[in-house]
């Protein structure tokens, strides 16, 4: 067996990003596991030799920009590193992506979910609170800084999204645990990147039971999740809400009063939305496939804009409205609650284009999330 090469930390990170064999790093006989942070050939970004077609996700976003005028905001859903080896590899990949997006004029919004290994494994939220992953998290952000990532390139980070619905480990919706865990991550980010924006995102519907039997859209139910942060730690408030039938009103599932109450509790004047309109939906109540025509989709988007305008009129800033544009429809499963949110016809794109144009007239950027890997 040959000798293991002695690599500097920088060389290790470049190799981890793709310049060489991971098996040669630190004597490893197999590749370290990779967290949910996607690589997308980050080597090119790290070496500043980025071809125009380097990132398919940026290409897709550029197509949407050209077709509808959406803002150059890239939304990425990633997981945590599970250990320090994961953190080093994840940081190397993420640094390349962040720097590439910045060079393209794209602002990242990073949704940091409590999962590992590409979303296959759930994080134990209590174990995180007790410090089990502190070293991995600190290594991730320390390495991003070491690789030269700047505050401007970091964009906005949203750790532990949607804590008020039973979607994560053990269906844990404890608001106190959420506050403590976000505070831990936010403190690490702010230590390494003082000017980087940290936000929280709540779901407009709150539920504490796995079967959602207690689900309610009462803005007051959001208060325990955003009234315990120390001043200045959280920069903005995000609210997510979707229509689940053809009768839902944006004033209910994405209400301005709920968003403003959340921002007020944080001491922030900045609010953003995540929402979407479906062409087809597998009714979560089990009645089968619901279809929505483009006229209905336009009406929903106009209702969302009305909520944003009410927020503006009250003296808040709407940072952006993020439109979910993926096809997540699953047929044949009663009550699946999945939907096709994609704007994949000329008529649907025209609806999106009109909405973006109208929002721009009110100085409200509109972003879109669609995944090139699903095309």
Q: What is the pLDDT of residue 27?
A: 29
The whole-number pLDDT of residue 332 equals 76
pLDDT band at 337, cuts 50/70/90? confident
Residue 211: band (very low, low, confident or very high) from pLDDT cuts 50, 70, 90: confident
Tens digit of pLDDT for each residue in 118-157? 888 999 999 999 999 999 999 999 999 999 999 999 999 9
List residues bridging with 237 in a β-sheet: 200, 271
Residue 88 predicted with pLDDT over 60: yes
Is 70 exceeded by the pLDDT of residue 46? no
* In the chain, where the domains are located: 9-374
* DSSP letters spanning 48-71: T---TTS-HHHHHHHHHHHHH---
Q: What is the pLDDT of residues 104-125, one digit of tens each?
A: 999 999 999 999 988 889 999 9
- For residue 40, pLDDT over 90 is answered with no
Largest CA distance in the chain: 70
Question: What's the pLDDT score for residue 374?
Answer: 75
DSSP structure string for 233-293:
S--EEEEE----SSS--HHHHT-HHHHHHHHHHHT--EEEEEE---SEEE-TTSS-EEE--
Q: Which two tokens stand for residue 293?
A: 């025509």
Tell me what pLDDT residue 87 has: 97
| Domain 9-374 indexed as CATH 3.40.640.10 | no
Calculate the average pLDDT of the chain.
87
Q: Which of 39-48, 196-205, 282-291 tops mean pLDDT?
A: 196-205
- Reported as a pLDDT band with limits 50, 70 and 90, residue 375 is low
Q: Could you tell me if 109 and 155 are in contact, meaning their C-beta atoms sit under 8 angstroms apart? A: yes
Contact between 85 and 29 (Cβ < 8 Å): no
Judge contact between 107 and 74, C-beta under 8 A. Answer: yes
Each residue's pLDDT tens digit, 281-333: 998 888 889 999 999 999 999 999 999 999 999 999 999 999 999 999 988 77
Enter the pTM of the model: 0.86
d(CA 323, CA 155): 18
Instruction: Summarize the confidence of residues 170-188 as an average pLDDT.
Output: 97
Coil, strand, or helix at residue 176?
Answer: helix
Angle at 179 between CA 128 and CA 131, to 5 degrees: 20
Return the higher-pLDDT residue of 30 and 143.
Answer: 143
Please give the share of the chain, as a percent, with pLDDT higher than 70.
85
Strand-strand pairing, 270-275 and 156-159: unpaired
Confidence of residue 373 (pLDDT cuts 50, 70, 90): confident
**The pLDDT of residue 33:** 29
Q: Give the 3-state secondary structure percentages of the chain, helix then strand then coil, rounded to 5.
A: 45, 15, 40
Q: Whole-angstrom Cα distance, residue 27 to residue 42? A: 23
| DSSP-assigned letters across all residues of 94-147 | HHHHHHHHHHTTPEEEEEEESEEGGGTEE--HHHHHTTTTHHHHHHHHHHHHHT
Helices 346-361 and 56-68 sit at what angle, rounded to 10 degrees?
70
Task: Reply yes or no on whether the pLDDT at 262 is more than 60.
Answer: yes
Given a contact cutoff of 8 angstroms between Cβ atoms, the answer to whether 6 and 15 are in contact is no
Q: Three-class SS of residue 216?
A: strand
Indicate if the pLDDT at residue 28 is higher than 50.
no
């Amino acid at each position: 067996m040959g000798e293991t090469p002695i690599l500097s930390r920088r060389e290790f990170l470049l190799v981890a990003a793709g310049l060489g064999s991971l098996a040669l790093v630190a004597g490893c006989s197999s590749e370290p596991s990779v967290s949910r942070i996607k690589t997308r050939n980050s080597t090119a970004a790290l070496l500043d030799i980025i071809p125009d077609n380097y990132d398919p996700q940026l290409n897709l976003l550029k197509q949407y920009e050209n077709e509808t005028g959406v803002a150059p905001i890239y939304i990425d859903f990633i997981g945590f590193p599970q250990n320090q080896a994961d953190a080093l590899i994840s940081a190397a990949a993420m640094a390349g992506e962040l720097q590439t997006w910045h060079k393209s004029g794209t602002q990242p919004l990073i949704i940091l979910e409590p999962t590992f290994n590409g979303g296959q494994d759930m994080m134990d939220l209590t174990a995180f609170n007790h410090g089990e992953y502190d070293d991995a998290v600190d290594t991730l952000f320390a390495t991003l800084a070491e690789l030269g990532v700047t505050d401007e390139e970091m964009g906005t980070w949203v750790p532990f999204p949607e804590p008020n619905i039973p979607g994560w480990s053990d269906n844990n919706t404890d608001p106190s645990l959420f506050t403590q865990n976000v505070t831990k991550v936010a403190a690490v980010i702010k230590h390494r990147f003082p000017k980087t924006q940290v936000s929280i995102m709540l779901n407009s519907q709150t539920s504490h039971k796995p079967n959602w039997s207690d689900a309610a859209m009462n803005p007051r139910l959001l208060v325990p999740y955003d009234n315990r942060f120390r001043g200045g730690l959280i920069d903005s408030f995000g609210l997510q809400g979707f229509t689940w039938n053809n009768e839902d009103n944006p004033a209910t599932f994405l209400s301005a009063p709920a968003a403003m109450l959340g921002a007020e509790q944080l001491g922030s004047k900045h609010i953003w939305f995540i929402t979407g309109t479906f062409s087809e939906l597998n009714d979560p109540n089990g009645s089968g496939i619901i279809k929505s025509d483009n006229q209905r989709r336009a009406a929903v988007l106009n209702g969302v804009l009305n909520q944003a305008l009410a927020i503006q009129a009250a003296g808040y800033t709407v940072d952006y409205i993020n439109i979910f544009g993926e096809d997540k429809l699953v047929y044949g499963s009663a009550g699946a609650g999945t939907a096709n949110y994609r704007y994949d016809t000329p008529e649907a794109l025209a609806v999106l284009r009109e909405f973006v144009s109208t929002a721009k007239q009110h100085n409200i950027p509109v972003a879109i999330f669609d995944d090139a890997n699903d095309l």
